[in-house]
Structure 1
Amino acid sequence: MTMRRALRGPILHFLDDPGDEDRPREGSLGYFADGLLVIENGRIAALDDAETLLPTLHADTVLEHYPQRLIMPGFIDAHLHFAQLGIIASYGRQLLDWLNNYTFPEESRFRDRDYADRIAEAFIDEQLRHGTTCAMVFATSHENSVEALFTAAKRYDMRLMTGKVLMDRNAPEALRDDPVKGIADSRRLLERWHDNGRLEYVLSPRFAPTSSPEQLAAAGRFLDDFPGIAMQTHLSENRAEIEWVASLYPEADDYLDVYARAGLLRSRCFFGHAIHIDDSVRRRLREADAAITVCPSSNLFLGSGLFDWRAARAQGVNLALATDIGAGTSLSQLQTLQDAYKVCQLNGYPLPVWQAFYRLTLGNARTLGIERHVGSFAPGNEADVVILDTAGTPLMARKRESRESRLDELLFDLMMLGDDRCVACTYVMGEPRYRRAD
């Protein structure tokens, strides 16, 4: 039986990178002031003006009308830690103190499958409440954490990427594995979960200080054994961290070279933060077709530094935006955009609104290599959708009352003033999985 749904209202999605100017590149976005998005069996069947498509709807189509909302593809989060949900925004000075005082003790609790299941369920609920329909996520070093998160995402038919964290040194015993066991666990989890519905396994060495050279080399061989799978880790987030890496890996030219020597610098390798890097690092990332996952909120919270967006763009580095909770202080991608804008301003240039929302949708999808599934309303794509209320907070509603706003102004209000209150509804594969209680 064919399940049909149609969403009517203002619709925006991106067709290409809109560039870094105030005006988007011609042909880079699709906007329908009164559009109709037709969904069949969880996939995009058609998108056009409502006047054009309404006469073609099947009689059994469920029609939902959002005239005062904005319909967009569901947001994509490229880097966050689900096991840190309970310690979000905990006072911790800077990165290494924060890890030792909060992160490692909390992650140790995920040996308990019941605890992992409870947090995984809460995490998925929070993602949907914030309009995020797809994410690449760090679990912990325990198989239980990966099983719990994949199980929760599968229940909602959510597109999710995660994997067991690899760490065999410089961490509490409750979190350490070893090169042989860590890879064996990863292989077992990949064989069970990779391409299971909308799920994807991601090789996940935490970062160079908590992996021995032997473990990183084993991770590189793992990527050789499974070509095309993704790898996520951290790079050059904090100056003390960088000095620590240099002492642990004196033979490497720099932090990125640690990963390159282990075979972990290649396409679909994602490096979180990468704040304190130079043109040589950017060039090597671009040449390898690797990517940086930019985490403005956590970088500000931990005082790590200001990511140079313009320099990375100028050198053609693949980029994605991410909340990075728990050091990131909100699961709201709108608040992530607010912090990204401020970081760019402190670096002497603005982040255009078109580029910002492109990153949360098609841009992040392209960087993660999943644009054939999500990120836009292209026919055949999976119907992950967020319905945004551009007057979702009292202050935003007051602004709407005082003047008629252009689309770019509405988006900028969402970007600078919005939060989870602006998410009216979230659809996963065409099914409403979250509705705001109005």
Structure 2
Amino acid sequence: MDQLGNHESRAASWERTIDKLGERNVQFLNLPQRSLKFLKDLVNTLVEVKWRYTLAAFVLSFAVSWFFFAILWYLVAYAHGDLNFDPETGKRMGDGDLPCVAGATTFMEFLLFSIESQVSTGYGTWTPTEECAEALGLLTIQLIVGLVIDAAMVGIVYAKMVRPPKKISNMKFSKHAVICRRDGRLCFVFRICDTKHQHAIETKINVVMLQSHRSLEGEIIEKYERNMKLENNGRVLIFWPVTVCHVIDAQSPLYDLAPKDLLESKFEIVVTLSGGTNITGQVNEARTSYMPGEILWGHRFQNIVHYDKEHGRYVATNENMDATEAVNTPSCSARKLAEVTVNVKNFLNDDQHKEFEKMESLAEYHDQEDDSDSDNGISLKNMSGVTIPFMDKHRA
């Protein structure tokens, strides 16, 4: 546990691009006309911002339109003389026999008339008359503006309701990744679980290592991307918690990584999962990342899926999502392991070579031929004098 805690503290001290919840840890500064760019793309801005800001924007748009057209109605009535009255008789002194808006004489009444015109299908105390042609044009414009705001609100609210959430809270990634042997090869493995089956269509996983890189010309490239090829080209069926495997071969960026390097290396492995839902068909995405201190060498994930004969279905124990167990694993890099394997095969005679090929891995060969301990764990020694160190599962 102390070793795991030490790994985690080191991981937390290094800069990461993507946090464990998938949020991007990147901030852009001094962007020219940043606010103007958001306004130019107003639809996407309203869809992406939080609900309270979207609803506040629509409430404000309705209020502004009501006040704006109330002012226009007031000016139309003022120009027509509908607000001038004889102080003695109290009769209207404006042009024509009828006012432009019957019954409205104050700004508050014009505001209520503006709201009534835009949101209702009929009039009460205040009604437009056929006296003013400009009143007819203004009423038409206000109705069109009201319909545009209504349509925009319905469309944006619908888009927000059906869009994929920014955080796929039901998508779970294992807290740690592990490096262990599979079929005799060192592999980088992590586990994922889609509890609500949100990525049911064309699920694809992409893994990239971010690390500083010096070019041949001496240029330092921060966060240089190196793809990590996955089994089945990253396509998985997430019916239950599944492990995703990257074989550490000669093309892998982890090919020269040894256990001791995990305490000194600075890199970040970013995992991106994308897929469409079987309800809306929209593609959503979940992300996480692993720092060197979050990678456990010589561990593998425990099996958490079993078949329940009583109910006739498979059962996954999600609370054990992060459970791992220590296993015998070479404590050298994949490159060193490949070189040693070639040397051993070249040294053995035909009969020994055939016997060697029958074994699943070098660790199995070790378990059958040599159980001696060494300071670094368990070692396999062959007649060529080559020593292959292993992580001892009883000491990990």
TM-score, length-normalised on structure 1?
0.18
Higher helix share: 1
TM-score, length-normalised on structure 2?
0.19
Higher relative contact order (CA 8 A, sep 6+): 1
Q: Return the index of the structure with the highest Cα Rg.
A: 2
